[in-house]
Structure formats: C-alpha cells, structure tokens
Amino acid sequence: MCGIIGYIGHRQAREVILNGLKRLEYRGYDSAGIAVIQDGLGLYKKRGKVHDLELLIQDLELNATSGIGHTRWATHGVPSDVNAHPHTDSQSSFALIHNGIIENYDVLREDLEKKGHTFHSETDTEVLAHLIEEIQKMGSLGFYEAVQQALLQVDGTYGIAVVHEEYPDQIIVARMGSPLLIGIGEDEFFVASDASPIVGYTQKVVYLEDEEIAVITRDGYEVSTLKNVPHTKEVHELALSLEQIEKGGFPHFMLKEIFEQGDTISDCMRGRVILNENRIQLGGLDGYVDKLLKARRIIIAACGTSWHAGLVGEYLFEYLAHIPVEVEYASEFRYREQLIDENDVMIVISQSGETADTLAALREAKKRGALVIGICNVVGSTIARETHAGVYTHAGPEIGVASTKAFTAQVTVLAMMALLLGKENRTLSEESMKELLSELDSIPEKVNEILKDTSEIERIASLFTYAPNFLYLGRSYNFPVALEGALKLKEISYIHAEGYPAAEMKHGPIALIDEHMPVVVIAATDHTNEKIVSNIEEVNARKGRVISITSNGQSSVNRLAEFSVTIPETHDCLTPLLTSIPLQLLSYYIAVNRKCDVDQPRNLAKSVTVE
C-alpha cells in the first residue's frame, strides 16, 4: 500500500526521500511523488516506478533540506500523474501526502466545490488539502490549527505528512488508523509509514498513535492529540539493520526470503524450544496460558497467507491440545453477528501487524471482552501493540510482496503454542512431547536440505511455465498448504490456480482435469496417504499431469506421479513447514520464466492498510 517518507535536517532532502521511496517500493504502488521547500514549493510526481520520478527530477537543481515523498497504491482514481501524491491547496502553498481513505470525501468535496474549490484529481486526499485551505481561510487560523480542525472533520483512516512553503522548517504529521513513525537522528528527523526507509540513518523512533498529531522541526518534535492534549512519547530502538533489507546477492527478495527459512525458523524457535527440559517457553504468553486452556473456543482471525497459517494452526491446536478452534477471514468476521465474549480467545495473525481488516477484528473482539493474542512479525506494529499478549515470529523484514518466510515462522509459532498447551492440558504425553520437540528442532536442517538442490523444481517450472491453470490438492495439515501454494502462484505469475482439499476434487474440480491440467498433489502425511494415492489415480485416469510433493518414504506416490519432488520425512503435523517450500520455489521459478515482477506483482500491496 501507499508509503510515506519525510525528512527535515541538514542533508539533501531529495536523496533521503528518493532513497526512502525505493525502500518503500516493496509495499506495492503505482506512482510516486515528492515535495520539497526551496524558494517556494517544489512538487514533482509521476505514474510508474520511483525510477521514473528520479529521471523526472534528475536535472533539477534541488537544494532543499526538508520535504516529503510518497508511493501511491490507487484506491480512489486510476494510477496517473495527476492522482499521484502530494496534493496541494488551490494556491499550491502547501503539499500533503496521505495513506488511508477519507471515507466522507464525496460529501466534503461537494461542499468545497460549492464554495468555489476546483479539484484536479479524483482522489480523496486532494479533498483534505482543500478542506485545510478552506478552514484556514474561514477561521483565520494558523496552518497547524487548520490541519487539526480539518482532521477532526474527516471520517476514515489517515497517516499524513504536510509541508508548507511559508513554514519551511516544519513538517506536520498525524495518524488515524494508518501507521506513522518519527525517526530521531542527530539534528535531523524523519517521518515514515514503516521503518524501512529510515534504517541506516537512525535506529531511534517514536510511534504515533491514532488521533495524534505532531509538528517536527529541525530542533525536535512535539506530539499532542487532535484536541491539543500534549503527549510525551517513549523512544524505541529499532532492531532492523540495513543488511536485512537488502537483497544480499539474490536476484529477488522473494528468493532471498525463501532461502532464509532455515535460519528464520531457527530464530523463531531460539530460546523457546527447551529440549533438555522437554518444554516450550513463550514469554509473551506468560500469565495467559490458563485463559487459553479454559477458552470455550479459540478464534483465529487473519487474511491471505496468514489465514492459511491459521488453518494449519487449527489442525495443530485441535490435534495436540484438544482445544476447539475456528478460523475466520478477518474481513468477514467483523461484519458477522458478533457472538464472541470473554469466554473466547482470539488469535490474530499478521506479518505486517498493520492489516486493516485484522486490526478491526482484533478491536471488535477486545471490545467484547475476549482475550486477544497476536502473532506478528513486525515489532512495534499496531496489531502487536494493541493485543493483550503475543508471540513475535522473528522472521526479520519480509520485503517480497509474496509472503514466504513469514508463513513458515507463523506455523512454527502456532506449533510451539499448540505444544505448550498440549503439555499443560495433558493431552500430550511426555514421550510424545519429546518426540515432537526433537522433530521441530530438526526442521531448519530439513528446510536447508530441500533448498540444497532445486533443480527438479526448476525443471518442472520450465515445463509448466505457460500452463493457464493449476490445481493444488492436499489433505489434513496440507490442505492449507494447497491453498497457500495456489495463492503464491496466482500472486506472482498471474496464472489461475485453485487449492482444494483432495477429496473435494470429486465434487466439482475433477471436471477441469484433462491432459493440459497440472495438478500439484501434496502427499506427505502418512495418515492420509492411502486416500491421496486414490486421488492421484483419479487424476491419472483423466490424463491430468500430477506433480507430487512427497516425503522420501512414499514410494507408491512417487511411482504414480508424473513428476515428484521429495522432501525429508517429519511428523505429520509439522509437514507444512517442509511442503510449503517446494511450492514457493515452483511459483517463483514460473514467475521468473514468465518475466513477471516477482517482488512487486501488479495490483498487490505488501501490507493492506485499507479495508
């Protein structure tokens, strides 16, 4: 989604902002823009990549030391130069960038048009700029007060940054539902929608909360509520390094992140899987385990890949801890009849910790008295801060839009939680706990074994690069992996793909099978193996092209499938941590063969901060 970077200090603002915009590219965008204050307001914006904006301004003599920049992901109005941010007032005396959606923009726009304002773009953001102008004009207010008043009149979500030519030494920022942080350097300050554009300049940040507004000058920053109550903010230290957000020799972030998974799963388990004491230690859940055990049910709410991880979690919690679980799309949960109360526990899963629908589900559950636990990757994100308790996945920054290492880290956290609860609930014997902990501990090594030789997956990818459709089948723990495999392929290669529980194939999808249909069958769990073998026979009988993902021992599957990718054996309930890896690679190589933009697929955003 849209990204924000702002700078005020002693450096050339153009460099800091362009650099920041490049680091924000991973969020997904369609246009970019920059505004600097140098003998008045300089405003440059362009549809396309940040590189196109860079070309637009490369020959200009810009000497400004403050300014703002934005990457736009279209919601209101097509991607175009004119709809790109920043937007200005009628006189072009100030420029504003905005993440989020002004929901009452149409009513405001109509009113402002009646008052003589002319709009150039189709965006909701331009309405906010004109509203500020109008309020300032009518109320003889200072600029800061006018911004404050305007924000009190808008419904919806925003993270904004504003610069004004008459106040070259300040940036005004405010937040409601859309993340924003202030970076604190030596005699310089930054504002950003996430930490990635400011890493390398400073590690010190303050996170703005909803309804907070701040004025940043060259000497410092002041934060207050929209109603003028001053707030003292805690300064946090970022745990993010420059290295982590660079490609490290890989052609794409996605491939780097796939190959990191041996390490990220290890990092996720570090200090948590205590083998010699036969237990799991999750500090973030201290004081909440009892509530989880006594829960009438656990509701897992998430979106996209995180929802798929939640589905694996459902199998794990039910099998290992005998706790009933429901998995909900966060976007659906919030509009259902709310039957959740203090007897339930909600677990929200989110890589970014900023997904608008997941955040809304969390707030709804909290309002109704449920305990809410978060599984997030981004430290300090809104979801991580708003949940009662939680477990970080510690997978490091995930830049590729297609989620890979975050998924396996989420499943690892869910497995650890289920084991912890299973032990406490006595649904797991000491013996089974020991066996499962040692299996979990060996997963990173097995992931690395899969990654050691990717040649068979590359070969299969080259044979099916131009297939128009794919079917993914899996049972039990690997049904969610089938969904995830299909999502990965759709996202980055734009091939239509569907995931199904294998037995459901007979209830409809089998009609699609002919000699042109690749069917990826995930056949790695022993207890469903026989059934999966029958499913493969059914596909073969209709001349479908079976690509199986099996563990070493499953010779009957390997014999029947036209193509087989073998993975090391593990306990059934941990197989998703291994079976998901070849599927990530398959989609990656197909997308590369099709010359798709792997890290920034069309229309997609890394973190979906609008509803």
DSSP SS3 for 539:
helix
> How big is the CA angle at 371 (ends 367 and 372), to the nearest 5 degrees?
85
Nearer to ligand M6R, 43 or 604 (CB): 604
DSSP SS3 for 88:
strand
Nearer to ligand M6R, 401 or 460 (CB): 401
Catalytic residue status for 376: no
CB atoms within 10 A of CB 37: 25
Give min distance, CB of 125 to ligand M6R, in A: 23
Give min distance, CB of 358 to ligand M6R, in A: 5
DSSP SS3 for 5:
strand
Give min distance, CB of 362 to ligand M6R, in A: 11
Q: Beginning with the edge strand found earlier in the chain, give each strand of the sheet holding 167-176 in spatial order.
A: 87-88, 94-99, 158-164, 167-176, 212-217, 221-225, 230-231
Nearer to ligand M6R, 146 or 356 (CB): 356
Which residues between 394 and 453 bind ligand M6R (CB under 6 A)? 401-403
Residue closest to ligand M6R, measured at CB: 304
Which residues between 455 and 494 bind ligand M6R (CB under 6 A)? 491
Give how many residues touch ligand M6R by CB under 6 A. Answer: 16
546-585 footprint of ligand M6R as x/- string (CB under 6 A): ----------------------------------------
**How big is the chain by its Cα radius of gyration, in Å?**
25
Among 149, 607, 609, 610, binds ligand M6R (CB under 6 A): 607
Give min distance, CB of 592 to ligand M6R, in A: 16
Nearer to ligand M6R, 306 or 529 (CB): 306
Which residues between 210 and 269 bind ligand M6R (CB under 6 A)? none
How does strand 325-329 pair with strand 298-302?
A: parallel
**In this structure, what are the phi and psi dihedrals at residue 214, rounded to the nearest 5 degrees?**
-140, 145
Nearer to ligand M6R, 421 or 608 (CB): 608
* 230's tokens: 């001053």
Token pair 């990717």 in the structure block, residue:
454
Nearer to ligand M6R, 407 or 479 (CB): 407
Catalytic residue status for 573: no
| Amino acid (one-letter) located at 359 | L
Q: Which of 487, 73, 100 is nearest to 307 (CA)?
A: 487
Nearer to ligand M6R, 347 or 536 (CB): 347
DSSP SS3 for 329:
strand
Give min distance, CB of 306 to ligand M6R, in A: 4
Which residues between 189 and 208 bind ligand M6R (CB under 6 A)? none
Nearer to ligand M6R, 306 or 387 (CB): 306
CA distances from 68 to 71, 129, 177, 460 (A): 11, 15, 20, 46
Nearer to ligand M6R, 485 or 544 (CB): 485
332-371 footprint of ligand M6R as x/- string (CB under 6 A): ------------------xxx--x--x-------------
What single-letter DSSP state applies at residue 86? Answer: P
Distance CA 328, CA 528 (A): 25
Distance CA 373, CA 365 (A): 11
Distance CA 476, CA 465 (A): 28
Pick the catalytic residue from 2, 268, 573, 596: 2
Give min distance, CB of 183 to ligand M6R, in A: 22
Distance CA 124, CA 597 (A): 29
What single-letter DSSP state applies at residue 156? Answer: B
CB atoms within 10 A of CB 40: 12
CA distances from 478 to 306, 413, 531 (A): 15, 17, 13
Nearer to ligand M6R, 352 or 554 (CB): 352
Pick the catalytic residue from 22, 256, 423, 606: 606
The residues that bridge with 496 in the sheet, in sequence order, are: 469
DSSP SS3 for 368:
coil
> How big is the CA angle at 156 (ends 151 and 161), to the nearest 5 degrees?
50
Give min distance, CB of 309 to ligand M6R, in A: 8
Give min distance, CB of 357 to ligand M6R, in A: 8
Which residues between 506 and 545 bind ligand M6R (CB under 6 A)? none
Q: Which of 226, 190, 271, 258 is nearest to 15 (CA)?
A: 190
286-315 footprint of ligand M6R as x/- string (CB under 6 A): -----------------xxxx---------
> How big is the CA angle at 318 (ends 316 and 320), to the nearest 5 degrees?
60
Distance CA 73, CA 603 (A): 8
Give min distance, CB of 208 to ligand M6R, in A: 19
Distance CA 97, CA 373 (A): 33
Cα 237 from chain centroid (whole Å): 21
Give min distance, CB of 354 to ligand M6R, in A: 7
Contact positions vs ligand M6R (CB under 6 A): 303-306, 350-352, 355, 358, 401-403, 491, 604, 607-608
Active site positions, annotated: 2, 606
